[in-house]
Amino acid sequence: MNRYFFHLRHADGTLADEEGDEFDTLEQAKSHALEAVRELLAERIKRGNTVNDDFMDATDEGGRVYFSVSFLEVVKAQLNK
C-alpha cells in the first residue's frame, strides 16, 4: 500500500494534508480525490460560494506530485454528461 497526501491548493496558498490515506493503486487514490473534490464543490455550491479553480494535489511523503484534480474541470465534466 502507498500513502497519498491530498493537499488543497488555491490562490491564497495550500492547505496541507498532514495524515494522508493509504491505497493499493494510483487509480484508487484518483477515485478518492475525485469524490472528495465533488463533496467540497457541493458544499461550496450549497453555501452560495463561488467555485474557483482550486486544485487537489496528490503527493507522496516527500512531496512528489502524482496528479492534480482541478475543481473547474470536475464541474465542466459534470456539465458535459
User: The C-alpha cell of 43 is what?
Assistant: 458544499
Distance CA 59, CA 69 (A): 12
pLDDT recorded at residue 33: 98
Q: What is the pLDDT of residues 1-27, one digit of tens each?
A: 999 999 999 999 999 999 999 999 999
Q: What is the pLDDT of residues 32-76, one digit of tens each?
A: 999 999 999 999 999 999 888 999 999 999 999 999 999 999 999
Stated pTM of the model: 0.90
